[in-house]
Amino acid sequence: AEEKLRQAQKLEAIGQLTGGIAHDFNNMLAVVVGGIDVAQRRLPPGHDTVRQPLNQAMEGAERAAALTRRLLGFARAQPVDATPSDAAAMLADMVQLLDRVIGDTIRVRIEPATGLWPIVVDRHQFENAILNLAVNARDAMPDGGTLVLSTANVTLDGDSALAAGDYVRVAVLDTGRGMPPDVVARIFEPFFTTKALNQGTGLGLSQIHGFMQAAGGGIDVDSRPDEGTLVSLLFPRGAGVAVPAARTATAQTGANR
């Protein structure tokens, strides 16, 4: 399960990177192609010693453009399916998976709230984020400990980094080794890791950070060395009715909001 998670992370990161690079590259290519095109058209008849290398340059640029188009297609290939969801229900559905990933020395407790507001997220991305946080918590508790996952409705005033309003907080708390401030300062950097080469990619938290921003929310990390870490994901309160995953699309359209 973990190897798969690491692979998925790497792939997604590569997708994001190539997407960004391909996009920039495409813009630069447009300048190159435009320049060659102008030169070709302004070249008087004859001058074959110049025309020939120009044609070759154009051919190369067009091949490069075709390649970047393919890369952009690959980067866009990850579909996002954001639907009104119940964070507590999604956590409850993950209990078995979490138990398997966490192992025997760590106690896992889930404290779901009732009457939770719906959030609008891609279920797959949500589960991936929670799984990442759980793996981090496990790695921080090599001698055992407790992992608590909880949910709550919260209303923020204008004082925090997020816009004032209603949010659903999903908190992941561990009793692990925690982090010093200089580590906390860097945890959202892609590829920042303190783990051994084949144990961490340094992509988990940067990805969750991106996911939370895309969701219109945020992530907050509060850590104390030798005490533990509390990671809070804040999702904006969504409109609509959260549909339990087990129900069908028919039931969803039957909801009266």
Q: How far is the CB of 257 from ligand ADP (least distance, A)?
A: 37
Q: Give the C-alpha separation, 238 to 57, whole Å.
A: 52
Which CB, 22 or 203, lies closer to ligand ADP? Answer: 203
Q: Which DSSP symbol is given to 189?
A: S
Under 8 Å between Cβ of 169 and 233: yes
Q: Give the C-alpha separation, 149 to 87, whole Å.
A: 11
Task: Quote the tokens at residue 246.
Answer: 């087990």
Size of the site for ligand ADP (CB under 6 A): 23
Helix (DSSP H) and strand (DSSP E) numbers for the chain: 8, 7
- Residue 201 interacting with ligand ADP (CB under 6 A): yes
- Residue 202 interacting with ligand ADP (CB under 6 A): yes
- Residue 193 interacting with ligand ADP (CB under 6 A): yes
The separation between CA 127 and the C-alpha centre of its own chain, rounded to angstroms, equals 11
Q: How far is the CB of 187 from ligand ADP (least distance, A)?
A: 4
Under 8 Å between Cβ of 87 and 113: no
**What part of residues 15-54 is at the interface with ligand ADP (CB under 6 A)?**
none
Q: How far is the CB of 97 from ligand ADP (least distance, A)?
A: 18
Q: Which of 85, 125, 136, 232 binds ligand ADP (CB under 6 A)?
A: 136
Binding segment for ligand ADP (CB under 6 A), chosen from 16-24, 81-89, 199-207, 236-244, is: 199-207
Q: How far is the CB of 207 from ligand ADP (least distance, A)?
A: 8
74 CB contacts (<8 Å, ≥6 apart)?
15, 18, 19
Q: Which of 106, 149, 179, 212 binds ligand ADP (CB under 6 A)?
A: 179
Binding segment for ligand ADP (CB under 6 A), chosen from 21-29, 52-60, 92-100, 204-212, is: 204-212
Q: Which of 11, 43, 50, 183 binds ligand ADP (CB under 6 A)?
A: 183
**What part of residues 225-244 is at the interface with ligand ADP (CB under 6 A)?**
229
- Residue 192 interacting with ligand ADP (CB under 6 A): yes
Under 8 Å between Cβ of 235 and 83: no
Task: Quote the tokens at residue 224.
Answer: 């104390």
Which CB, 84 or 177, lies closer to ligand ADP? Answer: 177
169 CB contacts (<8 Å, ≥6 apart)?
151, 152, 153, 154, 232, 233, 234, 235
In a 3-state reduction of DSSP, which class is residue 232? strand
Q: Which residues bind ligand ADP (CB under 6 A)?
A: 132, 136-137, 140, 174, 176-179, 183, 187, 192-195, 200-206, 229
